[in-house]
Structures are given as structure tokens and as C-alpha cells.
Copies of this chain bind each other. A is one copy, B any other.
Amino acid sequence: MNSTQQALPRLIERLPPGRVMQDAAFGVAFESDGLTAFHQKPLAVVIPETTEEVVTTVRWCHEAKIPFVARGSGTSLSGGSLPIAGGIVIALNRLKKILSLDPVNRTAVVQPGVVNIKVTQAALQHGLYFAPDPSSQTVCTIGGNVAFNSGGAHCLKYGMTSNHVTGMKVVLANGECVEFGSDSTDAIGPDYPGLFCGSEGLFGIATEITLRLLPKPEKFHTVLVGYRTLQAAGDAVSAVIESGLLPGAMEIMDALSIEAAEAAVNCGYPKGCAAVLIVELEGPRERVEYETEQLRTIIARTDPFAEHIATTEAERLSIWKGRKCVFSAVGHISPDFLVQDGVVPRNRLGEALVHIQEISRDSGIRVANVFHAGDGNLHPMILYDGNVAGEFHRAEEVCSRIIKMCIDMGGSITGEHGVGMEKRDFLPDMFDAATIELFHRIRGAFDPQEVANRGKMFPAADAPSLSMSGLHPLEKQGVISRE
């Protein structure tokens, strides 16, 4: 019996019955997140029903020095909500109330377990919506969006989650409760809500989050353009940006992604394209109509192979259906795959795509590409068959080479999926030792015992006490792995 098991009874007696689950079968549902290559059973799953129960649980973790990971729907793609050995999961799914919604000041205060799309559904009656739209928005929670500062197809225009969070109440990892920000964008001093957004669960648990809501655009103009080459699609993105237009979204899918989407949802994209570009303009009617003309002129100069303009909302949703399903659709063309997340400078997108094709050819591993083209955020999907000996390792190697390419091009190891477990050993490629040491000290200001999501974000070498069963040796290189 280890220390957690010895300490657990003290937690159980402080909480109402039924909150602490120790059943191993139950734990299976929590042993992985969206990055299924990692898995680790937690010693217990705690399911609080009130903020006070969250505080009680975190205080117990702090006192007993038991690591915890807070979890919403577990859609993290970087292992961010993976438990560690000897640690517990705090599942926030029952904290799912929209506490208030103020249509005049355009704010909503929500609990962390509220599903992203539910905020928009509640706001729509007032003509408002919540802008961050991760592909997983029908299941992922606001708490997770805050932890990973999630983006989405429309973050080109509207920014990431941190641009839409103005205040929060937080249970720090030491069990103290604090409050940052307000419902205004005029904040006092440093941007503490911004510090908390993207902290990947290392600082504590946000129990109430104040979100900024935006007026729903009056009109959309959504166009799908097919190209004969990926390069042509990339060049079209540069042309749009250089014109001064700021579309709500600009997304590229390559031939393999299109094939997957067609197999999964029969989205009817034009046949024979090497790539499609989706551009969506949105805003007041006259403005969109004006920009539509500008866009038409720009696109005409990019030698398009095919073009489809949505004339109804149903057609618009049909265009988006192909794009939004891609991550799940890839299962139709490959038994296994890894999703990567990297950033290159926007003006080197074409070069990056050519390089990824070379890596794919070299390795004999197929790579399907979708990306938030407007901000240089790539999501290559590395396809492999786990039953073919050595394929998984070659897929890992491809992931690693793509991330190294992003670093070499002056980009970033993550655009929106986070560092989590997957990329922690790449952190020193992005920041020097003094900067990482500062990050450690800031973390220490929130969590001196390092109980909150221990083992994530910082290089494995910084967490020598971390015991994690079953990880592949390659995990040490920061490349994802599995048992």
C-alpha cells in the first residue's frame, strides 16, 4: 500500500459519500486522454459536485503531497490530462453550471465543467456567442480550454481563449482561493488571468471563469477553393493576408485529409485537388459583401482549380463538416495515427509543407495535413499501422522531425495543443535555462509542492521523482510513446 492509499481515507471522510472512486474498472476511463499513446491508471478519481468539494480535495492533495490532475472531457492531445502513478484525477464534469449571463456587459460566468458549445447555445438567445471554437467544442470543457489556452479555426481573427477570459476564481494548488481580473478588460497590474490561461493545470483549478461574449456575426461568406498543388493553396493564404483582409478563418486540407473526410462524411469537396482552402468572412452584412468582392479578385489570381461558394447555411455547414471531422475521419484511411501541432512563421508555410512531404517520402510514412493556415499553425496527422513491426517508431520519428523543423524555422513546438506530457522535453529547444528556471519559480509561487499536474510541461529531467509506468524509452526524447 503506497502513501496515496494510506492517505485516501482522510479525503473520503471529508467528502460526501460517492465522491471518491477507487474501482480499477472505473479508473480505466481516466487512464488516457486524447493522446491515447500514453496511459496510466490513477489511484482514485474524485468527482466533486461543488466548489467547496474541489477546495477540500486540493487541500488534501497539498497536505498529503499527493499529485492531482484536473480533468474535463479529457480531449487533450498532448497528454495534458493524463494521470501519473500515485496520483489522483479530479474530474470536474459535475461542475457544469452557467452561473450567470449578462447580455448588456456581454459576459458569462461559468464553472469549469461547462462544455464549450453550451456557452454559445446559452448566449445565442441574446445574439451573442463564445468565440474560441476548438474542433472538439461539442465535448471539450471551458476548464480545459483555459488550461491549454485553446484556439480553433476562428482564432485567426478572434485570438485564443485567453483573449476571451477576463476574470476567474481559482483554487491554487496549495488550497488557497484567489480571484483574478474582473468583467472588464481594464485590469489592474499584470495580466494574471492571462498567466493562468495556458498554465496547463500546473497552478491550480479555476472554479469560476468570466468569459467575454461577442455579437454573432450578421453574415458569413464561406468559400472552398481547390488547388492543383499545396504550394498554390499556401500562396493564396499569403495573398489574402497581404491584401489586408482578416477572414474569420482560413484553413487548408491536403489530398490525404480530403480523402479521409470524403470517406467519413462524404463532404463532396471537388475531386482531383491536391489541396483545398476554406476561407470564411464574417461580420456586418455590407462589410462582408464588400470583402466578398475583394476576396473574389484575390482568389481569381491564384489559379484555382475549382471553387464552391456556400449560398445557404446548410452549404456552409457542409463545407465545415469535412474540415471539422478530419481528426476522427482519419481512422477511415489508417488504422492508427498521431496528430502533431506545430507553428511556422506564416510566410514560410509553403516551405514547411514541402519539407513535410520530403520527411514523409523519406520515412515511407504517410502524413495528412490540415492547418490553421492564417497563423501558420500546422496539424500534420502521421498515419501508421500499429500491427506492422517498427511502424510506430517510424511514425514517432516523423513527429519528432516535423517538430524540429518548426523549431529550426523559428516557429514553435505547439500552437494550441500544449506541451503536456508529449513535448515537455522540447521545452529547452524553445527557452534557455534561465527562462525555464524562472518558470519553475513562478510555478513555485502557486504550487510549492508541485502537486498540480506534476510531470507535465517541464522536461522529465526536472521531475526526477516522477514515476510513470509503461512509457517507451523514446518518451525521453519528448516524442510521444506508448506501452
A residues whose Cβ falls under 8 Å from a Cβ of B? 104-105, 149, 151, 159-160, 162-163, 172, 176-180, 182-192, 194-200, 203, 215, 242, 244, 283-284, 286-287, 290-291, 343, 345-347, 375-377, 411-416, 418-419, 427, 430-432, 434-435, 437-439, 441-442, 444-446, 457
Contacts and interface: CB of A to CB of B under 8 A. Distances in A.
B191 A413 contact: no
Contacts of A195: 190-192, 194-195, 442
6 contacts: A176-B438, A184-B412, A186-B416, A187-B198, A190-B195, A442-B442
A188 B105 contact: no
A283 to B, nearest CB: 8
Nearest to A175: B434
A189 B203 CA distance: 12
Contacts of A416: 186
A438 B178 contact: yes
How many protomers of this protein does the assembly include? 2
Contacts of A149: 187, 191
A291 B343 CA distance: 36
Contact of A287 (B172, B287, B419): B287
A198 B128 CA distance: 30
Given A287-B290, A345-B105, A442-B442, A412 B188 contact: yes
B434 A178 contact: yes
A360 to B, nearest CB: 23
A210 to B, nearest CB: 12
A179 B215 contact: no
Contact of A438 (B172, B215, B347, B376): B172
Shortest 7 CB-CB distances between A and B: which pairs? A441-B445, A194-B194, A191-B194, A286-B290, A178-B435, A287-B287, A186-B415
Given A172-B438, A434-B178, A345 B189 contact: no
Contact of A419 (B105, B151, B189, B375): B189
A432 B169 CA distance: 12
A286 B445 CA distance: 51
Contacts of A191: 149, 162, 191, 194-195, 197-198
Contacts of A196: 190
B105 A177 contact: no
B376 A184 contact: yes
Contacts of A192: 195, 439
Nearest to A458: B189
Contacts of A287: 283-284, 286-287, 290
B179 A432 contact: yes
Nearest to A287: B287
Contacts of A160: 185-186
A434 B189 contact: no
Given A345-B105, A444-B445, A446-B438, A189 B178 contact: no
Contacts of A412: 182, 184, 186-188
A432 B162 CA distance: 23
Contacts of A244: 215, 284
Contacts of A347: 104-105
B188 A419 contact: yes
A419 to B, nearest CB: 6
A311 B446 CA distance: 55
A199 B188 contact: no
A6 to B, nearest CB: 29
A192 B203 CA distance: 14
Contact of A189 (B159, B375, B439, B445): B439
Given A176-B434, A178-B432, A438-B445, A190 B199 contact: yes
A248 B441 CA distance: 40
Contacts of A346: 105
Given A105-B345, A105-B347, A290-B287, A188 B414 contact: yes
A343 B184 CA distance: 9
B104 A179 contact: no
A187 B188 CA distance: 22
A183 B376 CA distance: 12
A377 B186 contact: yes
